[in-house]
Amino acid sequence: MVFPDNASLAFAVAEALGIDEETAFRGMLNAHPDPGAMRITRFADQSKPAFFVNGFAANDPSSTLRIWERVDDFGYSNLAPIVIMNCRPDRVDRTEQFARDVLPYIKAEIVIAIGETTAPITSAFEKGDIPTQEYWNLEGWSTSEIMSRMRPYLKNRIVYGVGNIHGAAEPLIDMIMEEQIGKKQAKVI
């Protein structure tokens, strides 16, 4: 995902180094994306794919919401969003923060809590603080079980992973990437 602030910063560094704007721009276009760069990945159903955005590594509310704003800019947010919140027992403060400062601001059709110590998300949902049609608490479920539960819903949808990358998210990302449609179709946004 290319953020305007990041591009502006790169141009400022290029200018400070005496690199003209056109050369800097061509260099940015030809550079290989960082392995952690945000991509929209098509996966699951070939004819009506789901689109996955891996925001698990953005571990603060403002970055997570900025990514979602970029997803919205590209028009994906109207694809019946599924938000997967990965929770960790050693990051309960982050889970509470996301329950308060992130999930209420993403209009998801389905919110799924995975990993461990999902109680803050469940509590926020039960209080009506998370605006979603469905909430699935899949705490402790295996990756295969999570994918099996989601599979009937993975047609023409956006799936946004948030919270924490370590723990339950890593194997889920791997499984989603195994189902990627057209390896060259992952779009850096």
Report the share of the chain in percent with pLDDT over 70: 89
Cβ contact 71:177 at 8 Å: no
Residue-wise pLDDT for 24-68, tens only, equals: 888 877 876 654 566 789 999 889 999 999 999 888 999 999 999
Instruction: Supply the pLDDT for residue 184.
Output: 52
Go through the chain and tell me how many residues it has. Answer: 189
Instruction: Supply the pLDDT for residue 92.
Output: 97
Q: Tell me, what DSSP letter sits at residue 146? A: H
* Beta carbons within 10 angstroms of residue 102's beta carbon: 24
Distance of alpha carbon 14 from the chain centroid: 30
Q: How many Å apart are CA 50 and CA 127, to the nearest integer?
A: 30
Work out the average pLDDT over 138-142.
98
